Structure 1
Amino acid sequence: MNNIAVVYQSHYGTTKKYAEWIAQALDADLLNRKKVSVSELSQYGMIIYGGGLYAGGLLGIDLVSKSKFKHLVVFTVGLADPKIMDYSEIMAKAFPNQAYQHDQVYHFRGGINYQKLTFLHRGLMTLLKKTVEKKSDSEISAEGKAILETYGKKIDFTYKEMISPLTSYVKEVLV
């Protein structure tokens, strides 16, 4: 067992892709959130948790947000451009206990393929699009703009180079 665990939860694969890249770059164990327990994670010196952003929340974050680890790094994967997206509400919701927080958070841009969405997710995206379209341009958030720009398309914004700040940070901490 390595000293680092990269744990992820992904619906459609972009979060998993980033988790695989991070695990490979750090020679870390790669673990699916649905198949691991908090007690198993407590054996690691550092946990890197990745989850997709859905409906204003971070997928599967409860696994790590309610437990204390020596080091916890979090990464999110969403459709909106991280350079213009405000994640403060999402992270406050993910970590409501102010006594325990993550070491660092990184935000990566994922992708979407409407052909692979479940019926439910396709319906939700249609509702979101209609809601966003009713707003004036000045009222549309970065997430809303991403929905309008990508609706109905197959888009992949994942880039391996995006993990570099995260992996550099982890290497510095564990030296």
Structure 2
Amino acid sequence: MKTLIIYNSQTGFTKKYAEWLGERMQATVMNLKEAKKEKDGFYKEFDAIAFGSWVLGGKAVKAEWFLEKAPAWKGKKLVQFMVGAMPGDAPEIATFLDNALNEEQKQYIKAFFCQGGLDYTKMKFPYKQMMKAFSSMTAKKAVTEDEKKMAEMIASNYDESDPKFIEPIVAYLEGSE
């Protein structure tokens, strides 16, 4: 199966997942800037296309590009994978994945979440400020042990990325899901 992995990464976590997927699937991997330069005919040669992006406010950043192109690719296996700092077992993930695609898109695109991390040293200034404010607010409101753990985690850099999180994506693309 000829597979294309397109990614949009700010701090490197999504790029890491795209590269892991690319290696595992023997796929072509390119960043979104490169993909936007390609003519529509370029995509015809692929059997599967996966788009990965980082999460901001519960939404995949720059996913609109992929979602606008996707109807023309309905005959292919399509994946949208999102990489975020929240733990992969957080209850919000199910809601987040459910809201990532509309009902029509869910008919031909499968959404996945991969746990990443935070790297304040690579964040653009506005996002860094926003996350620091969120971290401070979370620490003040933390009551339960889970909330305290989350507040502690987002106060500094951490990396929870792991190749195991691509396994459901690989299973779907290979048809063994």
Unmatched runs of 5 consecutive residues or more in structure 1: none
The number of residues matched between the two structures is 168
**42, 48, 67: which one aligns with 1:65:** 67
CA distance in 1, matches of 2:65, 2:48: 14
Q: 2:134 aligned with 1:128, yes or no?
A: yes
Q: Distance in 2 between matches of 1:11 and 1:120?
A: 12
Instruction: Give the alignment partner of residue 87 of structure 1, picking from 71, 93, 103.
Output: 93
The farther-off stretch of 58-67 and 3-12 is: 58-67
Corresponding residue to 2:161 among 158, 161, 165: 158
2:75 aligned with 1:74 = no
Structure 1 residue ranges, 4+ long, deviating more than 4 angstroms after superposition:
144-147
Matches within 5 A, 1:26-175: 26-37=25-36, 39=40, 40-66=42-68, 67-68=70-71, 69=73, 70-91=76-97, 94-96=100-102, 98-101=103-106, 102-135=108-141, 137=143, 148-172=151-175
| Counterparts of 1:64 and 1:33, CA distance in 2 | 9
SS in 1 for 2:141: coil
Shift of 1:170: 1.2
Q: What is the alpha-carbon distance in structure 2 between the residues aligned to residue 165 and residue 10 of structure 1? A: 20
RMSD over equivalenced CA pairs, Å:
2.6
Q: TM-score normalized by structure 1? A: 0.81
Distance 1:145 1:50, change over 3 A: farther
SS of 1:107's equivalent in the other structure is strand
Identity of aligned residues (%): 22
> As a proportion of its length, which structure holds more helix?
2
Q: Is the 8 A contact 2:3 2:49 kept in 1?
A: yes
Check conservation: 1:9, 1:60, Cα contact below 8 A: yes
TM-score (norm 2): 0.80
- Assess, with a 3 A threshold, how the Cα gap between structure 1 residues 90 and 41 changes in structure 2: closer, same or farther: farther
In 1, the alpha carbon distance for the partners of 2:101 and 2:46 equals 20
**Aligned counterpart, 1:4:** 3
Deviation at 1:16, TM superposition (A): 0.3
More divergent stretch after superposition (15-24 vs 57-66): 57-66
Kept after mapping to 2: 8 A contact 1:81/1:146? no
